[in-house]
Chains A and B, each alone.
Chain A
Amino acid sequence: MELKERAIVLNEEDNVATALADLEAGSSVELDAGGRRLTVKVAARIPFGHKFSLAHIAPGEVVIKYGEVIGKATADINAGDYVHVHNVVSTRGSMGAEGGA
């Protein structure tokens, strides 16, 4: 058992976790996703504050953090993969002020 949480799942709906420490590639991280225990092996180095996937996310599927959609996958993302600007885009970023809902 680890004394300190090394990553956090903010909402049980989330399909990504956020690192609370620098995680080395290949290390296993135990997670509490709303009471559900998960162990994820991270495929790459995940710096503090950065995200990795909890499950497979296909291109075009949504990435969820805080229980809300934070963007869409632009590539295949497997459980444990690093999730950031290289494989996720905003669903809103290119909208103008008149974008509305």
Chain B
Amino acid sequence: MSFLGYPRPDGSVGVRNYVGVISTVGCANDVAHWIAQQIKGTAPFLHQAGCGQLRSDLEIATHTLAAIGQNPNLAGVLLVSLGCEGTDINRVEREIAATGRPVKKVVIQKAGATVALNEGLLIAQALVSEASQIRLQEFDDSHLVVGVKCGGSDTTSGLSSNPAVGAVCDIVVDNGGTCIFGETTEFLGAEHILARRAVNKEVADKIFKIVDAMEKRAKASGGDMRGGNPSAGNIAGGLTTIEEKSLGAIVKGGTRPIQDVYNYGERVRGRGLFIVDSPGREPEFLTALAAAGAQVALFSTGLGVPQGFPFIPVIKVTGNPVTFQRLPDHIDMLVEMAAGKGSGLKASGERIHREVLAVASGKQTKAEILGYGNFPGLYTLGPII
């Protein structure tokens, strides 16, 4: 199977062809927002990170922004800098430029926001003109990089939409492509099952390590991730143990071997199934998928969520027919309640996989058409200082 995409100089394939207008610190968001509002063909990446953070968090912000700028869906990048931010903007610029993409920058503290805006508008316009000359080509689906996520979960998630999305992951991986999942908090209680699927002991150890580190961070803040899990609400919904709850979530990653575990904000290298260490919260997690290099995201939901992402099509799949009817402006696909089993599962996986290829080839998702998803987040571990 194949899809239409945009060839990039680094060998990756975009399924969208935006110029990214990336703010390098919270204080530069307004100018980046203004530019992206005015210039068609741009997509903003706004966030609150890059200043008043511990060194470790500034490192996360720096490498995440650099990876965001390398996402295959971006043809070029305009960085909007304040000037005194804690992120290493030179490194961000250098690492994006190393992929062969055009990357430019405007700095607000040089002559003020209005001057930066004027410069930025002209630069963005020129970058879009350049991007628009890249022609779509047909690629076999080994070039596909799909990120998967679940959120707004209900009983149907673990029974239908998550297994169905997992079946898509298996198809993508079997066709030579890449699938990325994460949400480390949801591995809790089932990390031993994921670790068994790791390609080697080193990768298995990384899976235990990220779950352990996540629990320790929660403990350091007075939280207990394991106690009271599953919650009273989970138990009322039919979930008996923490293993069962977590399995219902991780089933969305499919069943193939886990090739490696990456840190938040890192670009995934290689093909197959990968884990990105990340929180489950949507704005931060979708950013992790974008940084990892996902071209398309598959979002399994029960109650229904609106979230999209500025330059990645996010396909919403639900197993809850009430949600599908109630939220026609957000949910792209309904899978059967019994989608999670045997032949039904395979058929659902194949149907969603065809939709992934259609969306990759240009079909707009509900979130894209609605313009929902302009407020992503960037993960921080430590305090704001």
Residues of A within 8 A of B (CB): 4-5, 8-10, 12, 18-20, 32, 34-35, 47-51, 63, 65-66, 68-71, 83-85, 88-93, 95-98, 100-101
Contacts and interface: CB of A to CB of B under 8 A. Distances in A.
A24 B240 CA distance: 20
Interface stretch (B7-15, B36-44, B108-116, B241-249): B241-249
A92 B242 contact: yes
Contacts of B340: 8, 10
B326 to A, nearest CB: 18
Contacts of A92: 189, 192, 241-243
Nearest to A9: B341
A85 B193 contact: no
Nearest to A46: B238
A20 B338 CA distance: 8
Contacts of B192: 92, 101
B244 A70 contact: yes
A79 to B, nearest CB: 18
Given A95-B226, A101-B195, A90 B247 contact: no
Contacts of A10: 159, 163, 340-341
B243 A70 contact: yes
Question: By CB atoms of chain A within 10 A, which of B163, B215, B240, B342 has the most?
Answer: B240
B215 A84 contact: no
B216 A97 contact: yes
Interface string B359-376: 000000000000000000
Given A10-B340, A20-B159, A100-B208, A50 B193 contact: no
Question: By CB atoms of chain B within 10 A, which of A19, A88, A100 has the most?
Answer: A100
B241 A89 contact: yes
9 contacts: A18-B159, A32-B341, A84-B240, A90-B189, A92-B192, A92-B241, A93-B229, A93-B242, A98-B212
B237 interface: yes
A100 B195 CA distance: 10
Interface string B276-306: 0000000000000000000000000000000
Given A66-B248, A92-B189, A20 B337 contact: yes
A70 B234 CA distance: 14
Given A8-B159, A35-B342, A88 B240 contact: yes
A90 B235 CA distance: 13
B201 to A, nearest CB: 11
A32 B248 CA distance: 20
Contacts, number: 97
Q: Across the A-B interface, give the 7 residue pairs with the lowest CB-CB distance, nearest first.
A: A49-B238, A49-B155, A90-B241, A50-B238, A5-B338, A70-B244, A71-B241
Given A66-B163, A85-B240, 9 more contacts: A8-B159, A10-B340, A10-B341, A20-B337, A48-B238, A65-B247, A68-B193, A70-B244, A71-B241
A68 B251 CA distance: 11
Contacts of B94: none
Nearest to A7: B338
A42 B243 CA distance: 24
B351 interface: no
Interface residues of B, number: 32
B159 A51 contact: no
Question: By CB atoms of chain A within 10 A, which of B195, B237, B338 has the most?
Answer: B338
Interface string B170-196: 000000000000000000011011010
A69 B341 contact: no
Nearest to B340: A10
Question: By CB atoms of chain B within 10 A, which of A20, A35, A91 has the most?
Answer: A20
A86 to B, nearest CB: 9
A9 to B, nearest CB: 6
Contact of B238 (A4, A32, A51, A71): A51
A99 to B, nearest CB: 9
Contacts of A95: 226
A34 B189 contact: no
Contacts of A89: 241
A81 B193 CA distance: 27
A97 B243 contact: no
Contacts of B247: 65-66, 68, 70
Given A5-B337, A93-B189, A95-B226, A34 B242 contact: no
B219 interface: yes
A97 B216 CA distance: 8
A20 B243 CA distance: 20
